[in-house]
Amino acid sequence: MENLIKEVIELDKKARTEVELLEIEKSKISEFINQKKSEIEALYKADAKKIVEATKQKLLDDLEKKKQEANAEFDEKFHKLEETILKNKNGWIDSIYEYCVKE
């Protein structure tokens, strides 16, 4: 009987030691998971930042291109209007003068 009690105590000690080792391993796993979580978050944030910066740059480039196109179109229309005014100015002045003098 005494032998049996010693065996039970010995088995209990072994089981407690194994449980302690498993608890330590469990805490290490939690630390590992938290570390990996932080690393993954940092990677995703970096990737997201790169995507946002690339998209922002593309939009700025597109905006600059549209701005240049709009300025070119404005300049073209302005020059056409200026040419029309210079070409027809004297005729318009004469027409207005004739209209005013006749009445």
* High-pLDDT (> 70) share of the chain, %: 99
| Cβ atoms < 10 Å from Cβ of 80 | 10
Verdict on whether the full-model pTM lies above 0.95: no
Q: Does residue 11 surpass a pLDDT of 90?
A: no
Contacts 24+ apart (CB under 8 A), 4-12: none
Q: Does residue 15 surpass a pLDDT of 90?
A: no
**Tens of pLDDT along 31-80?**
888 889 999 999 999 999 999 999 999 999 999 999 999 999 999 999 99
The per-residue b/e assignment along 7-44, b for 16 or more CB within 10 angstroms, e otherwise, is eeeeeeeeeeeeeeeeeeeeeeeeeeeeeeeeeeeeee
Distance separating alpha carbons of residues 96 and 103, to the nearest angstrom: 11
Q: Does residue 103 surpass a pLDDT of 70?
A: no
